[in-house]
């Protein structure tokens, strides 16, 4: 089997439905880590900072970012016990370090911090691509440091420390992708951390993760970027008409296509093979649809749309979406697209 649910060492599974902060509010009886250091405090990093503080997942929380503006916002928001631009100093006493930077910045950050990581500590990340990250980080890993990458399948189209919120990961999946030979205790600690942050956790190989996410997240984003780009380039339809008459379907695409350009550039550069493989299949299926329309194959179209409707129902039944006609988007931004 290429995936397995992570065991539950701390027995701390949270409520099934995503909800208010109160459903996550209880602090743990004991922190899971003495010091957690987060590097890169945008949407994901600052959401982690909030849930770590709320649930007391670490005795001490150190936040590090390269941007002065971000550091200023973190201080104003009173996030973290220490806020610093010095990545080496930030990781020195940490037993868990999580890289929350764009995928393309991971190797550069690792080069900066590697000499300062403590023996026995765990290095993790939240990148939307896993194979390339493991390949870049593993050779730089000092002896005695455990690499346990992860990907919370939760997000919004917003960026930066003000966009984060503590319930972002609640009842969303987090995929943990340990490389071959990873220490089981380190893997279990990372799984326990994500469960305590509210996520449901599964483990998978990095390459399988990249294939699954290519079809469930990366290709859909590419389609959204493409369709909004096509509409913007149409000469016969004015920009104001596109905005004025944007129907629900197009509005959904514009929301996805508003996602962070740096992050998504990196996703396509670093998950190239899986995305190209899925795009090949997508193009074949699109050609089949084109044929059905050309030949008036109403039964074929009806059958396909019936199957796709069933998939939507399963997603709702599994609590990953709501029935609401607005797709639950008024709900604190929690139903936004994820990477």
Token pair 């002065």 is found at 68
* Nearest to ligand NAP of 163, 187 (CB atom): 163
Q: Could you tell me which residues are beta bridge partners of residue 61?
A: 36
Smallest distance from ligand NAP to CB 194, Å: 12
Q: How far apart are CA 153 and CA 156, in angstroms?
A: 10
- State the nearest-atom distance from the C-beta of 48 to ligand NAP, in Å: 9
One of 126, 174, 175, 186 touching ligand NAP (CB under 6 A): 126
- The three-state secondary structure class of 173 is strand
Using DSSP, state whether 329 is helix, strand or coil. coil
Closer to ligand NAP by Cβ: residue 114 or 183: 114
- Nearer Cβ to ligand NAP (31/225): 225
Which of 12, 67, 84, 118 lies at the binding interface for ligand NAP (CB under 6 A)?
A: 67
Residues ≥6 apart with Cβ < 8 Å to 167: 18, 19, 20, 21, 23, 24, 51, 198, 332, 334
Q: Which stretch binds ligand NAP (CB under 6 A): 15-23, 149-157, 187-195, 295-303?
A: 149-157
The interface mask with ligand NAP, positions 177-216, x = CB under 6 A, is ----------------------------------------
31 or 40: CB nearest ligand NAP: 40
Pick the piece of the chain touching ligand NAP (CB under 6 A) from 42-50, 201-209, 246-254, 317-325: 42-50
Evaluate whether 25 touches 173 at the Cβ level (below 8 Å): no
Tell the smallest beta-carbon distance from residue 2 to ligand NAP (Å): 21
CB of 5 to ligand NAP, least distance (A): 20
| Residue from 19, 142, 160, 220 binding ligand NAP (CB under 6 A) | 160
Give the phi and the psi of residue 245 in degrees, each rounded to 5. Answer: -100, 20
Kindly give, in sequence order, each residue whose CB lies less than 8 Å from that of residue 300, ignoring residues fewer than 6 positions away. 292
Q: Which is nearer to ligand NAP, 126 or 166 (CB)?
A: 126
- Do residues 41 and 70 make contact, with C-beta atoms less than 8 angstroms apart? yes
Return the closest-CA partner of residue 167 out of 18, 62, 284: 18
Stretch that binds ligand NAP, among 7-15, 26-34, 123-131, 304-312 (CB under 6 A): 123-131
Number of residues that bind ligand NAP (CB under 6 A): 30
Cβ at position 310, least distance to ligand NAP in Å: 26
Provide the edge-to-edge strand list for the sheet that holds 3-5: 3-5, 200-204, 173-176, 150-152
Q: Mask of contacts with ligand NAP, 88-117, x by CB under 6 A?
A: ------------xxxx-x--xx--------
Contact by Cβ (8 Å): 319, 16: yes
Burial of 174 (0-12, 13-18, 19+ CB in 10 A): buried
C-alpha 222/C-alpha 279 separation (Å) is: 9
Span 243-282, contacts to ligand NAP by CB under 6 A: 260, 263
Return the closest-CA partner of residue 89 out of 121, 124, 64, 111: 64
Which of the 8 DSSP states describes residue 85?
A: S
Positions touching ligand NAP (CB under 6 A) are: 39-45, 65-67, 70, 100-103, 105, 108-109, 126-128, 151-152, 155, 159-160, 260, 263, 338-339
């Amino acid at each position: 089997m290429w995936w397995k649910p992570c065991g539950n060492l701390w027995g701390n599974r949270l409520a099934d439905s995503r909800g208010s902060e109160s459903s996550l509010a209880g602090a743990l009886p004991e922190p899971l880590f003495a010091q957690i250091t987060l590097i890169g405090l945008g949407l994901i990093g600052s959401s982690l900072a909030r849930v770590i503080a709320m649930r007391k997942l670490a005795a001490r929380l150190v936040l590090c970012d390269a941007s002065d503006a971000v550091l200023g916002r973190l201080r104003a928001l009173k996030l973290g016990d220490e806020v610093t631009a010095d990545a080496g100093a930030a990781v020195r006493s940490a037993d868990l370090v999580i890289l929350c930077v764009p995928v393309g910045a991971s190797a550069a950050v690792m080069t900066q911090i590697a000499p300062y990581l403590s023996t026995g500590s765990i290095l993790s990340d939240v990148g939307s691509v896993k194979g390339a990250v493991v390949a870049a980080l593993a050779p730089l890993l000092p002896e005695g440091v455990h690499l346990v990458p992860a990907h919370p399948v939760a997000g919004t189209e917003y960026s930066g420390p003000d966009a984060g919120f503590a319930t972002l990961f609640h009842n969303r999946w987090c995929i943990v992708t340990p490389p071959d030979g990873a220490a089981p205790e380190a893997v279990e600690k990372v799984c326990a951390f994500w469960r305590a942050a509210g996520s449901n956790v599964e483990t998978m190989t990095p390459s399988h993760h990249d294939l699954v996410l290519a079809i469930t997240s990366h290709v859909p984003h590419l389609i959204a970027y493409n369709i909004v780009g096509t509409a913007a380039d149409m000469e016969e339809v004015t920009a104001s008409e596109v905005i004025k008459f944007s129907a629900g379907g197009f509005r959904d695409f514009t929301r996805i296509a508003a996602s962070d350009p740096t992050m998504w550039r990196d996703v396509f550069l670093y998950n190239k093979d899986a995305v190209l493989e899925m795009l090949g299949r997508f193009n074949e299926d699109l050609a089949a649809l084109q044929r059905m329309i050309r030949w008036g194959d109403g039964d074929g179209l009806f059958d396909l749309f019936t199957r796709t409707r069933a998939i939507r129902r399963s997603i709702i039944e599994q609590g990953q979406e709501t029935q609401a006609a607005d797709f639950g988007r008024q709900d604190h931004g929690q139903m936004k697209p994820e990477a």
